[in-house]
Structure 1
Amino acid sequence: MTSADSSKASDPKAVVSNGTKPKKKPLNWKMAIILSVWTYGAYLLASLITGGVLQLLSFLGVDFSSVGQVLFSTIIQLVLYILAMIIAIGVPFWLFKNKTTLKDLGLNDLISWLDIGIAVPAYVVYMVINVFVMMLVTQLPFVDTTQAQQLPFDQAMFFSPTQYILIFFTLVILAPIAEEALFRGYLFGKIRPLSPFWVATLATSLTFGFAHLWTGPGAPLQWIVAVDTFVLSLVLCLLREHTGAIWAGVMVHAIKNGIAFYFLYISPQMLDQIKAGIILFL
């Protein structure tokens, strides 16, 4: 065989031109479901461990009242996210020697100008899709459109400038990075090599939405929040697939949370005016 014949044989296009189609990835729903359940389980287990440790410390007489509520909530969120990642990555490695690389997590590259530039258009796409999806979802009888979202910080409190910085850090920096690393990083990164893009996207987005549906014992199910985060995840998975990293998704997530931070904690009156205008328009 000549070198020309060899290069032609190794060229995928040449194989396709000879009538042999490249093999498609199997759906592999089993692994997609297992990984989705495991990722949510790691997040839930981290929450239970964090809550259990706090209760134990309180029982032993540890007084947390000297720590401000905002600082305390920020620390708890940081510990929870770190613990969730340790469980999700560490347990499979400990039991099955299943390694997770930076590439799996979408952290193998630094943030690029493409990630920054594509964030705003991607956010607009998410908003447009979300509007149409919400118009359909709000017609369902079991969805309460007036339900208030469970927030990590009490809106009724008066915050100092330092506390506002902590809230901003938690919502706009910590949460986007941590949630993207766990869901579009770990979960999507583990499913994608085994399944087509749409399977990895659907599994990741359903898991992400479900993680925002239930917030704890006695709390009502947040259907609106779950649908919103599901739609957001669809766009973020597309960004992960296109860029190969999670940074564009982190930027979109930060934009979304940043806008929410402003309307919820800086200017809640403006949010009420916007809601009233929408109701009047409809």
Structure 2
Amino acid sequence: MSESSLANRPDITTKKKIAHVIFITVWVLFAFIATQIGALACLEAAKELGFRIQGGNQVLFVLLLNAVIYTIALIITVGAPRFARLLPKDLSTKKLLGIDKKPALSDLGMAIIAYLAYLVVSAVVMLLIIQMIPGFQADQKQEIGFESLGSGLEYIFAFLALVVMAPLAEELLFRGYLFGRLRSYTSFVPATIITSLLFALVHWQWNVGVDVFILSLALCYLREKTSSLWPAVFLHATKNGIAFTLLFVVPMSFT
């Protein structure tokens, strides 16, 4: 994914490039938020009609709900522009999303190195923000839909939701579609900043937003460096997997 082949397009004026960047960004944000609002509205409507929505396992419910939201968001975000013929005919969906190549062991190695770099930068930035902004709650717990796990099945459901599904779906949406489309009209730095800001925004918490903004910088770099989404998916899954272990697996070992 080189700047010379994507960002420097003499056939498109600067104003049109900016317009495309704005449209793509707003479109992804709209699709992501609209899908969540639509899902919540359907749940509320079902409750009003007397249906029992959360009568079973809460963790399974979160897993299935997120699966529906992510799937619909991806279909709308990627499918609608393809259906409306807004995407280049010679650009396949797999190529656009960065999944036209098979995952390789080297992708995992790059993800681990990037994870270590992300940890250092995130820690330094958090310390600086804590010093500069009194009252900033760096340790505020992230809302994930459930707080504790009981049975072995719940651990499996939670693992699938947090470590498998979320990294894959979010990477397809943000570093796959959003970053990939932005790179068609702008250079690496603006595309990375816009993607990372939007990714931070949709996490709805200041402390989480700062952390995932820094994470997204590393994710975008991997996407750019390799022209593949898989290193970013592995990095995201590594981050969530370690968080899952610290939040749920380690405490279980001491009970």
TM range (shorter): 0.7 to 0.9
**29 and 129 in structure 1: CA distance in 2 versus 1, 3 angstrom threshold:** farther
In structure 2, do the counterparts of structure 1 residues 62 and 110 end up closer, same or farther at CA, with 3 Å as the change threshold?
same
In structure 2, the residue matched to 1:152 is 145
1:190 corresponds to which residue?
A: 181
Give the corresponding residue for 2:120: 128
Shift of the alpha carbon at 1:263?
1.2
Q: CA separation in 2, counterparts of 1:150 and 1:239? A: 27
**Equivalent-residue separation in structure 1 for 2:18 and 2:247 (angstroms):** 39
Structure with bigger RCO (C-alpha 8 Å, 6+ apart): 2
User: Is the Cα–Cα contact under 8 Å of residues 32 and 73 in structure 2 kept in the other structure?
Assistant: yes
Residues 1:35 and 2:24 aligned together: yes
Question: Which of 33, 55, 62 is residue 44 of structure 2 equivalent to?
Answer: 55
CA drift of 1:268 comes to 3.9
The match for 1:237 among 199, 220, 224 is 220
Q: Which runs of 4+ in 1 moved over 6 A?
A: 21-24
SS at match of 2:65: helix
Which residue pairs with 2:235 in the alignment?
252
| 2:94 corresponds to 1:102 | yes
Output the CA distance in 1 between the equivalents of 2:109 and 2:139.
35
- Alpha-carbon distance in structure 2 between the residues aligned to 1:140 and 1:174: 34
Partners of 1:81 and 1:178 within 8 A in 2: yes
Q: Which amino acid aligns with 2:119?
A: M
Q: 1:154: how far off?
A: 1.8
- Of residues 200, 224, 240, the one that matches 2:191 is 200
Whole-Å Cα distance in 1 between the matches of residues 241 and 5 of structure 2?
44
TM-score, with length taken from structure 1: 0.79
Distance in 2 of aligned mates of 1:109 and 1:237? 17
The separation in 1 between residues aligned to 2:210 and 2:227, in whole angstroms, is: 25
Root-mean-square deviation (Å): 2.4
Question: Any gaps of 5 or more consecutive residues in structure 1?
Answer: 1-20, 215-221, 271-282
The residue type paired with residue 235 of structure 2 is V
| 1:65 shift after superposition | 4.1
Identity across aligned pairs (percent)?
Answer: 38
Structure 2 length-normalised TM: 0.87
Answer whether contact 2:118 2:215 (CA < 8 A) is retained.
yes
Gap runs ≥5 in structure 2: none
